[in-house]
Structure formats: structure tokens, C-alpha cells
Amino acid sequence: MTSKGVARKAYLIITFVITLPLCIAFYYFSQQQEKVILMENEQELTRISVTLAQRLPQNGKPLVYWEENFTRDASFSQKISDISIYYQSFVDETAAIYPYYKIGIYHRNLDSIIAIYPATPPPDFISLDNQVMIKVFETGEPVTVTIADSKFDQMPILVSLSPIYHLGKVVGVTWVSKKVDYVRSESNKVLTKGIMISFFLWSLLMIIVRVVFRKLDRALIRFANEIMDEEISTIKFKDFPQLEPLFDTVVNLRESLKRETEHYLEVSRKIKKLIELTPLAIVVVDKNGMVIECNQAFLSYYPQYDRDTIINLPHEAFADSTYSDSKDTVIAQALRGEEVHDEYGFFLNRYWISSAFPLKHNDGEIKGAIAICHDITEHEKLRKDIIRLDRLNIVGQMAASVAHEVRNPMTVIRGYVQSLKKKTGETYSSQFNTIIEELDRANRIISDYLSLARDKYVEKKNESLSKIIQDIFPLVESEALARNVRCYGYFEENIPMLMFNSEEIKQLILNLSMNALDSLEGGELTITCSYNNDTSEIELKVRDTGCGMDSSEVEKVFEPFYTTKKNGSGLGLSICKSIVERHGGCISIQSERGKGSVFAIRFPIN
């Protein structure tokens, strides 16, 4: 912390620990002083009103003035005037002594104010049916109160009422009042003086602190500059010998920190190199989910970004690009404090094993998260291929057995059926034709089983794929028209020639086309053949606008005996895959439920 920071704290301490409490104390003292002054004024008002009541004569004319049987005749007003003139002199004498008070006398029987100072219309001065007035008449004791709704002054007043006795009865009251603001102004003077004293003390202390800390700041700057000098010797501290142990400690800590820093940087470089070279995709985000670090393996799956553009991007951007819910990603789970271990998932068209862990401060607060993703797509492909090979092996064994045990008897049966057909003439010709067709159909099924054998020998010739497809296309087109399906074909003429078995390629196209037509009710079937210069591959695509498939069906579609058709054998697409692989190509599917499918076959030139 700099000396300026210490000075600011000193300013705050002076303000909030010394000056502010002092102001509060003066305020409290002024409130207490107000109470004392108010009490003294109450006593003073009571004394004046009692004194005035005692000074009023009880004999002579007053005997007549306080009688109860006043006749309200034509001379009534004159009588009140005489009484007022008589008692006004007593009020004026008292007012001469206390000119800042309001003083008056009230006659109970006449229900009228008979004397008042200063001269004011009586109805505007005090409510004569006030509870305080009634209390005086009932108890016969002086009462001093604060009236908050004085009509006379339009502000609170302090008033003292004292009873006037005549022949042992309370026949009226004297009152003395004073504005409460006059009382408060005396206490406010105390508060004002206190605030002025506090402000003066605060200003003085602020000046002292500023002077002291400016000197201290200059001294600390000089000391800091000497500490920063690596070549400094303890001789420079001869004026400050108490700082020599501190300097030695600083030098030792500096050297130790330098060694630890170098070691840390070396370890950090090794770890960073290891993370950069690992084939696992690693990404680190802060507590807000913004990317702060990633390795090259992670970047390889997002070619649209580089290391500079990916930093400070929200992790949801990658979740969106993989068509998954950003709230369910392993990073989102880690940012909620959960540890994720070896979670299996599919995104970016690849299979992954992902783990994620929250990064926390020492107090347990989450400061970010790290995710590690292992691409196991090749492992999954290998596993599925092994399963498929096992099934194909079983099918191959079955095919060999069927071919050996069934095909020869079927040939004999077919021969006898043909012989019987000739002998019977036209009598049972249709029945014999049906038997021969069914035998041929069974023979084709056996041939399909044999086509699944990977080691089956096929004779290939240097041919044009486009020419083979054009030869078989009319057959596909006629079948499409029969099913009320629009059929289109686009074939590039000048594409490189490859080694093909034309019969198997025709079987491949027919299987894919029939499979597409089975999924269509109307709609379109499109077959294209082109050459991709960028990849040096011949591409064959069969596209339909049929019912399509979801991801779970796409994964199983090439497995033997898997079918979604009611009367399907589940061998058509397996045969297609075997044919493509025997020709060194690869087959893939893009499909979406309700939007159709695209079967893409690629044959590399090399």
C-alpha cells in the first residue's frame, strides 16, 4: 500500500472516527440542552403565571367582577369592558417585565378573555375548551404544556395556565406562553457552535495529516528506489541502521523468488508443450464460460478458428456448432461444480470420451473449468467393423453351407421341372414356370449370401463408372415411373476410368435405387456421377426425398439382417458395402427423418 493509500485511510479515520462522532456528540448535547432549556422555560412560565394569579386583588371591585349572576342585559358589554380595563393593567405590568411572552386572563363565567398582551383577537389565541384548560378547572393546579396547533402563532407554543380563585372556587385562569422555536433556537446555537468547532478541528487534522504524509511519501519513495537497486549495499543505510535486517530479508527473498520463478517457468513450459502435443482435445474456460486456453488438438476440430480468435469466445459457441444443448455439455456441468468422468458422447460427427473438472480458489469458489476430450471415432469404427466381420463370417459360413447343400439339389429339381414341362405341353406350363421362377429366386438369394464373402474373387476391367450407370439407368427410370416417382440422372462423361466389375456395380446401383424407391411415395430419385478434382475421387450419389432415417438407424443400416422393411431380408445394403469395399471405395450416408437420404460412394483414383 502506498503512503497515499495510508493517507486516505487517515482522512477517513479522522472523518468517521473523530469528526463524525464529535458532531453526533454535539447533536446529542444540543438535544439534551434543548430539554434542559425547555424545562427551565416551563418552570419560568409556571412561575410567571402563578405570580400573576396571586397578584390579582380578591377584594373591592373584584368581588363584583367574579360573581356568577351576571345579567346579560344592555349594559353587559359595558361591564366586560370595565373588567378588561381593570385587569389589563395587571397584564401590562407583567408584560413590561417579560416582553417576549404572551400573557392573558380568562373569565370562566363570562367565557371570555378579559385581558391579553399583546392585543390579539382572543378567538385566534387558544382553544378555550382545550383539555388542558379543563384540567386546570378540575384540579385547581397550574399546568404547563406544549401546544402543537396554536392558531395564534401558526406554530407550536409552550403555555402555562394557573387558576384564579374567588371565594374558594376556580373562576378563571391566567396564562403565559412562549413560542417553542425561541426555546429551540437557544439549543441550536449550541449545535451550531459544536459543528463549527468540529469542522475547524477536522480541517486542522486534515492539514496536519497531509503535511505528515507528504513527508512520509517522499521518504518511502527514496527507500523504495534504493530497495529496487540490485547493486545496493548496506552502507547506504547508515542513516537507517534499523532497515538493514529488512534489506537483507528483501535481497534473500528476491533471489529465492528469482530461482522459484525460473523453476516455475521451466515446468510451465514443459507442461504447456506436453498439453500442446497431446492428441487429446483440451480447453480451459473462466467462471463465465469464456475460453482462456486450448491446445492444437482442440483447434484441429474447429478449423474456422485460430488461437487468437478462439480466446474469449463463450463455450456455448462450440456447443451450438455441434447441435447440442449448451446446458448439458461437460463444461457447463463443471462450471456448476460437478466433476464429469469418461462421459460417452457423439458430436462433430465423431465419438468422444469426455471428462471435465471445475477449477476452484482456496475458498472453494469456482474460477473456471477444464475439459479433456478423447476422440474414439476410429476405435468405434474398428469395434463396429469387428462386429460386422463376425457377422459376415457367420453369413459366409452359412452361404458356403447353403451353396453346397442346397444349390445342387435345386439344379436337379429345376432340370426335372423343365423336362416335365416339355412332356406335359401347355397343360401345366404356367405352374411349371412359377416353380422355375421360385427356384431361380431361391438361387439369387443364395448368390446374395455368397456376395457377402469378402474374399470372393471378382473379375474387373478398366471401365467408366459413368458408362456403367448410364447402361443401368433406363431400368431404374422405368421402375421409378411405375411407382409414380420422378427420376433424374446427371453423369459426367469425361471422368477417369477405373478397374470395375460391371455386374457388381450394376447390382450396387440397383440395390441402392430399389432401396430408395421403397422409401418413396411420390417424390424424387436422383443419381449423379462426377469427378472431384480436390480429392481425386470419383463420386457416385443416390439421393431420395423419402422418409429418411434417424441417427440410430443410420448406425445399423449396413449390418447384415438389419431391415426396416416388412418383407426385407436385411442383406441389400450389406451387399452394397461389400461390393464397394471390394472395389477399394467407401460408402457413407446422410439422412434425416422426414427429409430423405443421400448414399455417397467414393472411389479414389490411386
CATH number for the domain including 532? 3.30.565.10
Same domain, 370 and 393: no
Q: What pLDDT, on the 0 to 100 scale, is given for residue 226?
A: 62
Q: What pLDDT, on the 0 to 100 scale, is given for residue 54?
A: 83
Q: What is the mean pLDDT of residues 360-383?
A: 84
Q: Report the CATH number at residue 316.
A: 3.30.450.20
43 — pLDDT class (breaks 50, 70, 90): confident
Same domain, 465 and 496: yes
Segment among 164-168, 176-180, 314-318, 565-569 with least mean pLDDT: 565-569
62 — pLDDT class (breaks 50, 70, 90): low
Q: What pLDDT, on the 0 to 100 scale, is given for residue 372?
A: 86
Same domain, 40 and 154: yes
- How far is the C-alpha of 323 from the C-alpha of 493, rounded, in Å? 39
- How far is the C-alpha of 281 from the C-alpha of 375, rounded, in Å? 8
Phi-psi region of 352 (alpha: psi -120 to 50; beta: other; left: phi over 0): beta
Residue 353's contacts (CB-CB under 8 Å, 6 or more residues apart) are 342, 343, 344, 373, 374, 376
Q: What pLDDT, on the 0 to 100 scale, is given for residue 7?
A: 61
Q: Within a domain: residue 215?
A: no
What's the grid cell of residue 410?
435345386
- How far is the C-alpha of 115 from the C-alpha of 84, rounded, in Å? 5
Same domain, 569 and 519: yes
Among the ranges 192-196, 391-395, 442-446, 453-457, which has the highest mean pLDDT value? Answer: 192-196
Q: What pLDDT, on the 0 to 100 scale, is given for residue 521?
A: 81
Q: Within a domain: residue 509?
A: yes
More confident site: 457 or 165: 165
Q: For residue 500, give the nearest of 460, 452, 546, 553 by alpha carbon.
A: 460
Domain boundary among 213, 247, 272: 272
Q: Within a domain: residue 238?
A: yes
For residue 62, the number of C-alpha atoms closer than 13 Å in the C-beta half-sphere is 15
Q: Within a domain: residue 482?
A: yes
Same domain, 562 and 541: yes
Report the Cα 69 to chain-centroid distance in Å: 89
* 115 touches 56 (CB < 8 A): no
Please confirm whether the linkage preceding 118 is cis (ω < 30° from 0): yes
What's the grid cell of residue 42?
416551563
What's the grid cell of residue 6?
495510508
How many other C-beta atoms are found inside a 10 Å radius of the C-beta of residue 576? Answer: 25
Same domain, 34 and 115: yes
Domain boundary among 375, 395, 426: 375
Q: Within a domain: residue 210?
A: no
Q: Residue 532 in 3-state DSSP?
A: strand
Query: How many domains does one find in the chain?
Result: 5
Give the pairing type, strands 291-294 and 281-286: antiparallel
Q: Within a domain: residue 214?
A: no
Q: What pLDDT, on the 0 to 100 scale, is given for residue 150?
A: 62
528-572 pLDDT, tens digit per residue, is 999 988 888 999 999 988 888 888 787 777 777 767 666 666 677
Q: Within a domain: residue 225?
A: no
Same domain, 175 and 41: yes
489, pLDDT greater than 80: yes
Report the Cα 133 to chain-centroid distance in Å: 69
Q: Within a domain: residue 213?
A: no
600 — pLDDT class (breaks 50, 70, 90): very high
Helices 465-482, 502-518: crossing angle, 10 deg rounding: 30
Amino acid of residue 6: V
What's the grid cell of residue 460?
474387373
Same domain, 351 and 437: no
* 42 touches 144 (CB < 8 A): yes
Q: Report the CATH number at residue 408.
A: 1.10.287
> 525 pairs with which residues across the strands?
487, 544
How many other C-beta atoms are found inside a 10 Å radius of the C-beta of residue 162? Answer: 25
Q: What pLDDT, on the 0 to 100 scale, is given for residue 427?
A: 72
320 — pLDDT class (breaks 50, 70, 90): low
What's the grid cell of residue 250?
528483501
Q: What are phi and psi of 2, to 5 degrees?
A: -80, 165
Q: What is the mean pLDDT of residues 349-364?
A: 84
Q: What pLDDT, on the 0 to 100 scale, is given for residue 235?
A: 47
Domain enclosing residue 252, as ranges: 234-272
Same domain, 180 and 84: yes
Same domain, 298 and 318: yes
Same domain, 59 and 107: yes
- How far is the C-alpha of 299 from the C-alpha of 309, rounded, in Å? 11
**Strand order through the sheet with 340-347:** 291-294, 281-286, 366-375, 350-360, 340-347
Segment among 103-112, 314-323, 428-437 with least mean pLDDT: 314-323
Domain boundary among 451, 478, 495: 451
Number of H helices, E strands in the chain: 18, 17
Same domain, 88 and 154: yes
